[in-house]
Chain A
Amino acid sequence: MAYGTVSADIIQSSVPGVSLGAGNASIMKNRIINGAMVISQYNGTNSVTLGAVNPQYTLDRWCFQTSQASKISTQQNQNSVTPPVGFSNYLGITSLSAYSSGSSDYFDVTQRIEGFNTADLGWGTANAKTVTLSFWVQSSLTGTFSGALNNNTGGGSGASYVFTYSIPVANTWTQISVTVPGSTSGTWSGASNAASIYVTFNLGSGSSFLTSTTNSWTSPGQYFGSTGSVSVVGTNGATFYITGVQLEVGSSATGFEYRQYQQELALCQRYCYAQDNRAGGIYYVFGTMAAQTSSNAFCIVPYAVTMRATPNSVTFSAANTFYSDPSNANYTGAQIDQLGKTTGVFTLTGTSGLTPGYAGRILSNNTAAAYVIWSAEL
């Protein structure tokens, strides 16, 4: 049978929201990871008040950049509104004050996409491919909001495409679609584990990060939004909810690519691997124990997947939440021993009575919620 040709960017099915696009694939077409806001390894369903540390990862792969502390709280499914049809989760954001941003302030939520996942787009070359960003959004505010695709470079090699979108009705989900011609200028990471495209939703950045040039590429320039767009942080109690974020090749938005839970989790674990029993459970196993001395023990942890890079941060719960068996040892300190892309080793310190060379397992104890979060985020 001969192959046919369909001269269209999108093939729409009879089912609303279900379609195939020009992205050369109907699977893994979405360059966004955790676009449906399903995975939340860092904080579970807990609310987080953001500090002034950048970036701050809350839901997996979504990072906040905030220049001022305590202006935003964020949470998976914050305030329990009903998600759009087909979705179970959203990223919730609430403004904690009526803050008037200074020129150098910035407030945004961003996904930093790894170069390996965008190299085929050819950005920065004459063959740059057009992409379409789509998402569902709801806010207590109405008006013109903004965001950007950029390469997070402020110098001469910087490039930003600032887009605007309208939320006409408060507290109602609206689906937005923005088509962006491929960037033929600027410097973009190729096939590497470095960050390439930054997909940014502006929440109230200051004038230094805003431009009046919208819906076209600006280079050089590092911008997060448009001049005069709605500032979420400018209104105390304002809400901003988002889900169903998809970035795909082509000039039309196609149906959202739903992934199996384990598939999405594994994609996230390339950047963050959380060993965590805070949601419940006792005697959670962290890894193999080997007594180093009478007071110190190694814990050897093979990660769930190969990480993007050697982790650049590891967060431990309080040392007394860990426990080793055999020996029934409790500990007072934890330190990194050695890190790799597939395995990490940490050392628990401050106990007594271990027999050097003996092996066992490191567990959470039976009363506290212990966790270790290995992070290799961009």
Chain B
Amino acid sequence: MYSSYTTKFGQLFYVIKHDDGSETHFTNESPYYQAYLKWLEAGNQPLPADTGA
């Protein structure tokens, strides 16, 4: 499952929440981003965006 947040400096990060509680936070320049786009194309919906720390 994916979610996202924007830092206070305005950078958008996407988050993969893994089953073991670990998380991968990535930008649109990451290889993970293409997988995220495919996931969206498959009709999935990300979790609501977090507000950021």
Contact = CB atoms under 8 A, between A and B. Distances in A.
Contacts of B5: 335
Given A313-B27, A317-B22, A53 B53 contact: no
Given A312-B30, A313-B32, A338-B9, A318 B52 contact: no
A320 B23 CA distance: 12
A363 B35 CA distance: 32
B24 interface: yes
A292 B52 CA distance: 13
A315 interface: yes
A271 B5 CA distance: 24
Which size bracket describes the interface of B in this complex? 20 to 34
A334 interface: yes
Interface in A283-328: 292, 296, 309, 312-321
Nearest to B36: A53
A313 B53 contact: no
A191 interface: no
A312 B29 contact: yes
Interface string A9-46: 00000000000000000000000000000000000000
A377 interface: yes
A335 B53 contact: yes
B23 A315 contact: yes
A315 B8 CA distance: 20
A54 B13 contact: no
Interface residues of A, number: 29
Contacts of A312: 26-27, 29-31
A337 B7 CA distance: 6
Chain B binding surface, main DSSP class: loop
Given A312-B30, A313-B26, A313-B30, A318 B7 contact: no
A333 B22 CA distance: 10
Contacts of B25: 313-316, 335-336
B34 interface: yes
Contacts of B24: 313-316
Contacts of B26: 312-314
Contact of B53 (A52, A337, A377): A337
A349 to B, nearest CB: 5
Contacts of A309: 29
Contacts of A318: 20-22
Contacts of B50: 335
B35 A349 contact: no
A313 B20 CA distance: 18
Contacts of A375: 30
Contacts of B9: 338
Contacts of B8: 337
Contacts of B20: 318
Contacts of A347: 53
Interface string A327-348: 0000001111111000000010
Given A315-B23, A320-B21, A336-B11, 20 more contacts: A54-B34, A55-B31, A56-B31, A312-B26, A312-B29, A312-B30, A313-B26, A313-B30, A313-B31, A314-B24, A317-B22, A333-B53, A335-B50, A335-B53, A336-B7, A336-B25, A337-B8, A337-B53, A338-B9, A347-B53
10 closest Cβ contacts across the A-B interface?
A: A318-B21, A313-B26, A312-B30, A347-B53, A313-B30, A312-B29, A315-B24, A53-B35, A335-B53, A312-B27
